[in-house]
Each structure stands twice: as structure tokens, then as C-alpha cells.
Amino acid sequence: MKTAIYSRVSTDRQTHNSQLAELREYCERRGWQPAEFSDIISGAKFTGAGLDAMMTDVRRGRLDVIVCFKLDRLGRSLAHLAQLVGELNAHGVALICTSQGIDTSNDNPAGRLQLGVLMAVAEFEREIIRDRVRAGLKFARDNGVKLGRPGTLAKHQEAVNGLLAQGHKKRAIARKLGLPVSSVFKLAKSFEPKFAASEKAINNLPQLWTGAGNSTPTPRQI
């Protein structure tokens, strides 16, 4: 039986000794020779070197059983724990928590029932979080908050406007500034209405000179 022991403490002022003593004794009674993984990380973090290494062995089919002291030593939250348990189930790896009587191996249906309830609660928690996120996003949009990453094109607007005003073609501007042609066309859309408005204003200025049927212009009488 390919077995692993996992232990975790939150700070370097704590030790794994009490957890390891119970876990080693449990494995010894069953004749297992486990590999050992451990972490010193707070409950706020979702990854650790020991946990990552152990899950790598799970994915590579190197483990059949994982033994830990309590569920909260393995997962940091219900959602995180449900994710780990789901991955263990997918790879056919049993989870045993010695101090809680949890054993998800095939010969212990009661332990599997416990984890089934736990995962259902975790799914319920995830749905609540999703609903809160959706409500928060809707509230932000309704109040004019612009969501998503800030655009990066705006910083090129002035340069594009200047080159357009000088008569450069859009594709030439794209090559000159190292921008995609589509981005230059997009930036040009905000320039063209302003340019058209300026041209219209110039065309609507009063004519100071008019031709009176001859080739020599004369001042218009005011």
C-alpha cells in the first residue's frame, strides 16, 4: 500500500511532533511504510511545498492512501478541501483522518458519507460566494464603475492624433509606433470626429473676399 503522511502547523513556533507520533503509530499498526510530507504555513495560504509535492505524487499514481491528523490540517477552507478531496477521488486515493474517524477507502462507506456531506456543504458555500460576486459586479456596473483591466491604448492616443493631423496613413502610423493596425484604426475613430468638427467650423467662417464676376477679388461690403 503506497501511503503518505501529511502534517501542517501554522507557525515555526509549533511542531509537527504530536501529529506525526499519532500518524506514524497508525501506519505502523497496519504495516504501512509511509512517505512524509509537512508544511509550516498559515491557514490563509492555499499552497505549500509539502502539499504540492504530495499532490504531484497523487497525480502521478504514486499513492493509494493519505493519512492526516484532521481535515483542517489538509484543507484551508471548505472549498479548498472539497477541491482536494475531489482530486483524490478522481485518482482513486483514500483519505484517512485519524482523530476524526474519517476513512474514504472502499471498505468504509460511513467515512465516504461524511465526506459527501462535507463536499455538499462546500458546494453550497461556493454558490453563495458566486451569488455575492454577481451582486457586487451588478451594483458596480449600475453605479458607473468600469470593470476589467484598464486599457493600454489610451497612452498612444496623442501620438496617433498628431500623426493623423500631419497626414500620415493609419498603416504607416501602426508601423511607426509598433502598434497593431486594428489598434490604430480604433484610436483613429476618436480623432476623426474631432477633426471633422474642426474642418466644418473652418468652412463655416465668413468669407472675407468674394469674387464679383471678375478675376480680382474685392472686399465684401459689410
The residues, any chain, with a CB within 8 Å of residue 1's CB and separated by 6 or more, are 30, 32, 64, 65
Q: Is 10 assigned a catalytic role?
A: yes
User: What is the distance between the alpha carbons of residues 69 and 173, in angstroms, rounded to a whole number?
Assistant: 65
User: Residue 13 carries which DSSP code?
Assistant: T
Active-site residue (options: 10, 18, 42, 182): 10
User: Residue 61 carries which DSSP code?
Assistant: T
User: Residue 83 carries which DSSP code?
Assistant: H
Q: In degrees to the nearest 10, what's the CA dihedral of 8, 11, 13, 19? A: -10
- H-type alpha helices, 30-156: 49-59, 71-74, 78-90, 109-142
Contact of 7 with 72, CB cutoff 8 Å:
no
Give the residue numbers marked as catalytic: 10
